[in-house]
Amino acid sequence: MKKTNLTTLCYLERDGAYLMMHRVKKAHDINRDKWVGVGGHFEPDESPEECLLREVREETGVVLDRFRLRGVITFSSDAWQTEYMFLYTADAWHGALVGADACDEGTLAWVKKEEVFALPIWEGDKIFFRLLAEERPCFSLKLRYVGDVLVEKVLDGQPLP
């Protein structure tokens, strides 16, 4: 079955840090060696929230109690199909986090928010991390890549410099 181009991504927040995944386990991973949040592709007939809750549980072992939609991000590229990602943050959950190496997609680690920009992350991710830090209301962000190079960025319909 072909994967949908609808995804969720979540950053769990605790003590000034995000739970992030270092994507090092899959050989053919568009995010190989990058640091990202937890999440994944919608299954048939799932809502964004159902996908979010399932993916977070599968990848971390926890059940979210409080989360919020922060934005919708459109990724387009010459190398993959356009992806529409629902971006969430969460600050309350229950259950025990799985061990750092328990996820089959990467290694989980708590990263201080001020250290995120020093990690290998996508250039466009830096934009939405700034928007999260600014507590920007729910936003729409379009990021267009040619290869690994960010060539277009549009926030709420307006081009960014």
Any idea what the CATH number is for the domain that residue 61 is in? Answer: 3.90.79.10
Q: How many domains is the chain partitioned into structurally? A: 1
- Where does the pLDDT of residue 101 fall: very low under 50, low under 70, confident under 90, or very high at 90 and above? low
Establish if 104 belongs to a structural domain.
yes
71 domain residue, yes or no: yes
Instruction: Tell whether 152 is covered by a domain.
Output: yes
Which residue range is the domain that position 112 belongs to?
6-159
1 belongs to a structural domain: no
Domain annotation covers residue 69: yes
**In which element (H, E) is residue 60 found?**
helix 48-60
Residue 100: per-residue pLDDT? 60
At 4, the pLDDT band (50, 70, 90 cuts) reads confident
Residues 144-148, mean pLDDT to the nearest whole number: 93
> What residues form DSSP beta bridges with 84?
6, 74
Least confident range of 24-28, 123-127, 147-151: 24-28
In 6-62 the beta strands, taken as DSSP E runs, fall at 6-14, 17-22, 35-36, 38-41
